[in-house]
Amino acid sequence: MTLSKKPFSQACENNKQPILEVLHRILADRKKLLEIGSGTGQHAAHFAPRLTHLEWHTSDMPNNHSGIKAWLNDVPVKNLHQPMPFTIGVNDWPLGTFDAVYTANTTHIMQPSEAQLMMQLVADNLPVGGVFCQYGPYKFDGQYTSESNKAFDLHLREQGCGGIRDIDELTLWAKPLVLIEKVAMPANNFMLIWQKQ
């Protein structure tokens, strides 16, 4: 399929390499990963061929599946799996045991109740020692990390999204996940690394 037929996110294109560098390190000993909200499919198509030790399972709302499949079909690797229907608050947790979960730029789109439910589902379903890699913009102690994130949050809320979440809030929702690392990323984003205790 040609590039023009596939959904495309410039943000995904910009951040895929910095994210991969973090995932290389964090997921070195992991075997099976669930991606929540695979979006366009660009991340999965970039990461799975470069993390060949890891079974990468995509998921999203069904209306995004055709775009994800278009990206996945251009990357014929055995460790990359077709999208499962998974909408927070609608579907049950996907079948299977995952020792890692990854999500990018989903938490601020969700309503607060959905973000809370996602944190709880990940906490409930990861095995002890499992890791959750959560990428996006966040607030610290109620403060934005930049003026551009403040403006972005206002824009999100005007669009009906839940907005940028505070790390303290996520920490409360995530138990028994513990935030073991906060990695500063380009464009005022962070990769939060959670581990189930």
Taking only the tens place, the pLDDT of each residue in 121-174 is: 999 999 999 999 999 999 999 999 999 999 999 999 999 999 999 999 999 999
Per-residue pLDDT tens digits for 85-120: 999 999 999 999 999 999 999 999 999 999 999 999
pTM, whole model, 2 decimals?
Answer: 0.96
In terms of Cβ atoms closer than 10 Å to its own Cβ (0-12, 13-18, 19+), residue 160 is: exposed
Q: Which domain holds residue 49?
A: 3-196
CATH number, domain containing residue 19: 3.40.50.150
Q: Cβ atoms within 10 A of the Cβ of 152, count?
A: 18
**By CB neighbour count within 10 A (0-12 exposed, 13-18 middle, 19+ buried), where does 174 fall?**
buried
Q: Which residues contact 99 (CB under 8 A, 6 or more apart)?
A: 30, 31, 32, 33, 126, 127, 129, 130, 131
Q: Exposed (0-12), middle (13-18) or buried (19+): which is 29, by Cβ within 10 Å?
A: exposed
Tally the domains of the chain.
Answer: 1
